[in-house]
Structure 1
Amino acid sequence: MVKLIHTLADHSDDVNYCDFSSSCLATCSLDKTIRLYSLNNFTELPYSPLKGHTYAVHCCCFSPSGHILASCSTDGTTMLWNTHNGQRLAVLKQPRGSPVRVCRFSPDSAYLVSGAADGSIVLWNVQSLKLYRSGSVKDGSLVACAFSPNGNLFVTGSSCGDLTIWDDKMRCLYNEKGHDLGVTCCDFSSQAVSGGEQGSRYFRMASCGQDNQIKLWLISLADLLGCELKYECTLNGHSAPVLACAFSYDGQMLVSGSVDKSIMIHDTKTGSILHTLTQHTRYVTTCAFAPDIPLLATGSMDKTVNIWQFDPKQHFAGSGLEDEPKMSIENWSEEEVSVWLCAQGLKDLVGIFKMNNIDGKELLSLTKHSLSNDLKIESLGLRSKVFRKIEELRSKVDSVSLGIPDEFLCPITRELMEEPVIAADGYSYEKEAMENWISKKRRSSPMTNLPLQSLILTPNRTLKMAINRWLETQQKYNETT
């Protein structure tokens, strides 16, 4: 069952794109703005809308951590925003000032891709905010882009119908005519699939286009300098150009939106249509699944964004929404850790974790060093994803199990702050922890990895008062119990 639970109607023009983080929904529009909403109650955040673009905003996307939002526009720029306070962090100007149609972060947040109407594509270094590599397609505008889950390659789609595969150094690995009348969108599934000789691992990708079709592809690195692209199947059902497609978090479903005003949800294993949604009154331009909860967002030229809710038991079995162990994380068995890995789209690592006897306690103690040296996970992107998921579990242990509000915990130490200070990135940290961070010649934000414009730390007296009040309340509660 899928039901419409909320409609956002704050944009004054066509909605072009939407994207989820673990706590927010971002939308952008022809009206030149980006809007941010809390997933708790779908209220707009206090600093929204974000304004700065001088023409239509075509795309917006969160960094994997959710701390940065990127947006791109007809004005020829890609802007980076701090999602904590709405502060604009950077303005990245496309070479020759061509309108930017699409932007995407790499899985480890190290790079950002921007693709433009003149066919130019730029790989930006997110930490230095400088151009790292650039290239271009032979014909057409760049309108679509997606990174593989391990970050080793990304795919672009053009208005001429070409799908082009690039490695992380902007070398063109492969080119294929994907859609006769032009590509409109593409997306990777987070789940790798088996196939080919000797059990090779493939990434599944979806593309859609002006030919009314959605195509599924399998991509693998054939060798160090090339890759292989295999056509898998075509998903039919729409009667007009398909403008958007996106995989669910577990890769079991694919959603698509079309000029025929409909949204279709497909089963990626069977190709069958699970649901057809028809509440939008004009073209459906964008669609996105939430990463951790059973929600779907769809945007349209009718100026609205619809929020849909799934029955988690029916549609997200095995995705972690009902199968993730409920007991204390430290007490998870090896099997419960395996369930958690599958829930996070990390099924391929189950064997490695079992081989190393990783239970809940061991899981929480893993570091980037141990993931690389002890568990031998070679892919940097995959290691970063695993470590990010482990950090989320640690956050649950710290803030939920101990009852401490997350905003009272230092992002560096994950401990209750005694002397909170505000850094130039707008986040609050424990004074000693941030001073130690800076003393090690780190000039980047611990939260965003972007350069700190200043090393001045300002006491956050308001937060300190709030922490003291909370401590007093906890003491009174303990005395009465």
Structure 2
Amino acid sequence: MRCLYNEKAHDLGVTCCDFSSQLVSGDKQEFQMASSGQDNIIKIWLVSSADPIGIELKCKCTLSGHTAPVLACAFSSDGQTVVSGSVDKTVVIFEANTGNILHTLTQHTRYVTTCAFAPDIPLFATGSMDKCVNVWQFEPKQFYTGTTLRESPNKSIENWSEEDVSIWLCKHGLKDLVEIFKKNNIDGKELLSLTKESLADDLKIESLGLRSKVLRNIEELQIEMQSTCEAVPDEFLCPITKELMKEPVIAADGYSYEKEAMENWIINKRRSSPMTNLPLQRLGLTPNRTLKMAINRWLESQPTHSPKPLS
């Protein structure tokens, strides 16, 4: 095995590459390839065969739509669409030929680390540090939520649309109530305000069992809202331990880590960055006092049962 080509693609490091399975030009054996990087962008490349045995690589276009490093990218089976996932927690779907953004998905609550298209059916999957895999169904230029392994859409429940409420009902075995809820224009805000009286008098749900089931699931939603509000912001979590940092330090790669975790990383002779996998130019660690103060302020804003501020 030998390397046919070497190209500097992204200034801050490359995180992912994916080939389109469709030929661009049969005469030249020309393919498209996508690459994503720590510079927040995706690049589409034209890869063609060259004589003697070798290849040529030319940048076709640059796709911009993320505000943080892009960790994953993938081509659809027809080569017309590129999907990407980022540290900014979003999934962006691009039209490969134009670079236009078709849709931005915001259901994940942590870094989106992977994405993949199904080969022959209109589905793609995204995975995240929020411990969830989301599976999406799509039609050309029209994307909508498919099946998610979470119990409900991850956007704020008060902002749920009527369609989100319908999805929630189906997932909790309440499919028979979908039409009633749609007829009464029940969105997320209305859902949270429902009572046993409004279910019986306004929505005319006669079954006591159904009313009780709806109310139990609404109560679970309210508990979920509370836990979501108290979720630790991503920037306060150590990339190595995935836990709230107590002594944040800045490494040579520019990222912040828990001091003990990064020291152990270096002691174990791993001299590359945990985030970029590039060699660390120096091994010194600098206390991130600004971040520590921000974590303290966040801790102080939490309910009394939260951990005490860092000393």
Sort the TM-score into its range (normalised by shorter chain). Answer: 0.3 to 0.5
| Structure having the higher Rg | 2
Compute the TM-score of the two structures, normalised by the length of structure 2: 0.44
Instruction: Identify which of structures 1 and 2 has the higher relative contact order when contacts are C-alpha pairs closer than 8 Å and 6+ apart.
Output: 1
Higher helix share: 2
